[in-house]
Amino acid sequence: MVAENHQCLVMTIAGFDPSGGAGIIADLKTFLHFGCRPAAAITSLTFQNSTAVFGVIHETDQSLRAQVLPVIQEHKVAAVKLGMLPTAEIVAEVVSLIHEGYLPAPVIDPVLQSSSGYELAEACAIEALLRELIPLARLVTPNIPEAELLTGLRIEGEQGMRQAAQRLREMGAPAVLVKGGHLKRKSAPGFQQSSENPEEAIDLLDDQGEITAFREEWISAPAVRGTGCILSSGIAACLAQGLSLVESIRLAKGYVTETIRFAQDVSGGD
Ligand code: PLP
């Protein structure tokens, strides 16, 4: 029997980073922040710290299913966030779990590479993600390098972010949030900056053709890891509680900004 609980259960299916900077630990912290009950299934055990990824051991399709089924058979999962999906086998298993009605339409953070340059998804996993999983998403949240890799487009400014989002929608995604944090704000040609605040972090949502730009203060801080994990998990947690997509993104983005500001306060910033 599937138990009802007034606290929404949100599940992350993602990689485990023992240092806690990214992946499942960042996701679970975020679910708790937004008042949700966290659940997690590991796709890959990674070996890393803040400087580098030293290796990975991936789960199999069977071990992923074995993690997910007992949880979803006991509790209703209100929302799902997908992070690192390293192999085509893992992607296919997630697709099956969705088709079988076990998982709701997921928020997909397409984790392809670590900040230090380590490949976290095999080429055939990326192909499977594009072909089979992205059309089943509630939302896909690539950063600029991920959006470029997934679409083959070169993104130079806000217009480029729009084009990449549109391309991903043409590939089947119902909604796409392109995160602009990787754009070099001052040098990017065609990047429209607000005259009041020339240093903004801009994310662009294309929800079935309706465009919303989210602008937040750009905070100069040493690279904070896991911001993509936190954003997508925050969105999933808010969607689980019945908030709209735009409101969920707004709240999750505010929390990412708080997290970066806290990291700046702790380190003293640049
Ligand atoms: N490791 C895992 C398990 C992740 O899920 C991610 C990103 O989502 C990363 C590493 C990459 O994080 P970073 O970009 O901070 O290196």
Which atom of ligand 1 lies closest to the CA of 83?
Answer: 5
Half-sphere exposure of 49 (CA within 13 A, CB side): 1
pLDDT along the chain (270 residues), means of 10: 71 97 97 98 96 96 98 96 98 98 97 94 98 98 97 94 98 97 54 52 94 85 85 98 98 93 64
Residue-level pLDDT at 189 = 45
110 CB less than 6 Å from ligand 1? no
pLDDT at position 102: 94
Instruction: State residue 248's pLDDT score.
Output: 98
Q: Judge if the beta carbon of residue 50 lies within 6 A of ligand 1.
A: no
Q: How many CA atoms lie within 13 A of 188 on its CB side?
A: 23
What is the per-residue pLDDT for 128?
Answer: 98
Residue 43 CB–ligand 1 contact under 6 Å: no
Q: What is the pTM assigned to this prediction?
A: 0.92
Distance of CA 171 from the midpoint of ligand 1 (Å)? 25
Q: What does the pLDDT read at residue 3?
A: 54
Rg (CA), the chain: 18
pLDDT at 5: 55
What domains, with CATH codes, occur in the chain? Answer: 9-142+225-264 (3.40.1190.20)
